[in-house]
Amino acid sequence: MILTPTFVILLAIVFILVWLFMNTVDHRKWLSFLVSLALAPIVYFYVFYPLLNIFSSYHHKKHFNAEAWKDSPALRYEMGQDILNDSIFIGKTKTEIKQLLGKSEWQGWNNELKINSPDKWNYNLGVKPGAFNNMQECIELQFAENIVKTVRLYQLERTFE
């Protein structure tokens, strides 16, 4: 286990809350302190930490890896921010993109022509974990003259029928 300042602060907060609760049960300070000292890690790891993971939207971030992209489609959202920040696809051709990402999952819509545009490739990145998250992460690559010009991350609402 790595002791980080955030971990120490959160554990101290849990200890104080458990100690305050124990003071309502028994007014002997030394007993409340000992019981709180024993219960604080248990409450932290079995109550506080699971609730924190359920209700927070933290997720791991990874660098882009073509093999991981193809092997784990549901975890592509971990690479989304790296793709956008580093602009690793800007300037690549359609054949290079097809080798790295595979065939596009769907094409974007062209409002002028009212048809799907072969120059807008979209890929599903998966759904970030969280209790109340129903948004699907997606990425759109827009081509001009067979070269990627823009990369855009967006979200689609998942609907269940």
Domain range summary for the chain, segments of one domain joined by +: 5-55, 66-157
Which pTM does this prediction carry?
A: 0.66
CB–CB of 119/139 below 8 Å? Answer: no
Condensed to tens digits (0 to 9), the pLDDT of residues 25-57 reads 988 988 989 999 999 999 998 998 888 877 776
Q: Is the pLDDT of residue 160 over 90?
A: no
What is the structure's pLDDT at 57? 66
Looking at CATH, the fold of the domain delimited by 66-157 is given as Beta-lactamase Inhibitory Protein; Chain:B, domain 1 (3.30.1450)
Q: Which residues of 46-76 are buried (b: 16+ CB within 10 A; e: fewer)?
A: eebeeeeeeeeeeeeebebeeeebeeeeebb
Q: Is the pLDDT of residue 81 over 80?
A: yes
Angstrom distance (rounded) from CA 24 to CA 11: 20
What is the structure's pLDDT at 79? 87
pLDDT band at residue 135, thresholds of 50, 70 and 90? confident
Average pLDDT in the 89-104 region?
A: 89
pLDDT band at residue 161, thresholds of 50, 70 and 90? low
pLDDT band at residue 111, thresholds of 50, 70 and 90? low
Nearby residues of 24 by Cβ (< 8 Å), 6 or more positions away: none
